Structures are given as structure tokens and as C-alpha cells.
Amino acid sequence: MKIPVHIQFHGVEASDALELSVREHAHKLESFAPDIMACRVAIDLAQKHQHQGRPFGVRIDLTVSGHELVVNRVQHEDVYVALREAFDNMKRQLEDVVRQRRGQVKQHHVPPPGEPQGADEESERTA
């Protein structure tokens, strides 16, 4: 990546293994969009809930030329699962941006005026 990954820990002890995991996930994103300019990851430990353990929250801010992508509502009791889910969500957003750039956005069939909707489906069934 052109700009290093910035990792912040809030209420969580920083560990080399966790940092390595974040950097590996971020590096994989680069294969989808090599023009990533910044990646900021915040990992925090939420307050304890009565009926659950203490979930880890992950927020990712990714800057790609012309776009600012954010994933911020990923929580799980296992920090590595929360990281994986957050980066999976970011990957989907990044793929959408790349598709838009390439002009590969899905186009829905709009029937010409006067043609009833669903006419294509009926003609396919009778054929």
C-alpha cells in the first residue's frame, strides 16, 4: 500500500498477532483496488453486556481515489471473527466501487412504452 495501515486499539491490549492479521487483510484489499490511499482500522472492546460476553468492535475507514468507504458496525466476541467480517464487508464495498468505475453496474430491463411488463417471460414460456 502507498500509505501504511493505521491501527488504533481502544480498551484492547495491542498485540503483534492482531496487527499482523489486520495488515494481511488490508493487503488483500489491494488486489481489488491498487489505488487505495489510506486504511485506518480501529479495534475496541465494548462495555460488558448482561447476557453476552464483551464484544469487540471493528471500524475500517478506507480512502480510494474519489471514495471514502466505511465499515463500522461489526461486533463479535472473537476479535479475529470481527476483523474477518469487517474486512469482508469492506471487500464487497470495494468491489462495488470498482464495478462502478468499469461501468459494470447492473442494468434492469425496461420495456418499451406500450409493451406490457412480463411479456418477455410469457413469450419464453410459450417457446
Show Cβ contacts of residue 107 under 8 Å, excluding neighbours closer than 6 positions. none
Q: Please, what is the Cα angle at 18 between 98 and 35, to 5 degrees?
A: 20
pLDDT at 92: 94
SS3 call for 12: coil
Query: Do residues 40 and 23 touch, judged by C-beta distance below 8 A?
Result: no
Show Cβ contacts of residue 74 under 8 Å, excluding neighbours closer than 6 positions. 57, 58, 59, 82, 85, 86, 89
Q: Is the pLDDT of residue 104 over 90?
A: no
Q: pTM of this prediction?
A: 0.74
Show Cβ contacts of residue 26 under 8 Å, excluding neighbours closer than 6 positions. 1, 5, 39, 41, 87
Which is higher by pLDDT, 123 or 4?
4
The domains found in the chain, sorted by start residue, are: 5-106 (3.30.160.100)
Res. 73 pLDDT band, cuts 50 70 90: confident
